[in-house]
Structure 1
Amino acid sequence: MKAKTTIMALALACLPGLTMAAGDLTRKPTGLPELVLGTEESGYGMSQTEYQLETGKSYSLEIQASGLKEYALKAPEFFASIYLRKVEVGAAEVKAVSLTELEFEDAGEVEIYFVPIKPGKFEFYAEGLEHKGMKGLFVVR
């Protein structure tokens, strides 16, 4: 049995690009640049239109709405491809399995904590305002 375990360990160690995670992947998140919705006087525009992420790495993303418009932030394929640890809104923490959208009726702020688990390019957008430039991309390697 010991020989089998040793052979398996050596085989895994020889696979290029294979990394073994140690510890809790959701702790010590990397803070991403804040996403501000409504950066222009008109209430349109986003402070970020692209985020570069890695699978298996923990992140936190603060999203802030200017309050100039109502914003329904959606990223359906991205939300389906992450491990969601929590969402913080004010003094509350929301522990949920997934997100559908983040809706802001007025000025407000939310912070999401997550780990991407699937590589790809995933769109995010303010529903109904995409034609005004309120869209972006999560690129997960």
Structure 2
Amino acid sequence: MEFSNRTRTGTHDSHRTEHDATRPGPMEEAAAVMRCIVCGHRAGYNRAVVDLATGSEVGGLCVGCECTAFGVSLLFGFRLSGSNCAFCERDGHYAIPSWRARTVETGGKTVSTVEYDVTEVTVRLCDEHLERLKRVAAAHARVPGSVRPSGPE
């Protein structure tokens, strides 16, 4: 099952005042809701975690947890085609697509969108490896001296 162009959109005036710029807009509010499935912090718009059976987003995967679990392999285009888990021959029930951002000027307003596509080359995980991802990354985060990006929670 493929899901295409899951999009979140926010509109704001391109001539925002300094006060307006400090107030969260629709995009920031939506990002605050999505939590990383591993650490529970704000996932931002790094990767979504999508349940392929329902098409629903079960959470996100923040940059820190992605790097802990996969190193830089996903940044350099690590991809497997097909519907199997990236780590075994089981069916990949969860997809972890990247969010892509873009803006378009329309009638004096800037429309910001983020979207992802789940295609045949999107990284997939079976339920067992999704749970293992959560455990391994969470254990690494508790190791003294491990580095994790900091930011507002």
More strand by share: 1
Larger-gyration structure (1/2): 1
| Shorter-chain TM-score above 0.5 | no
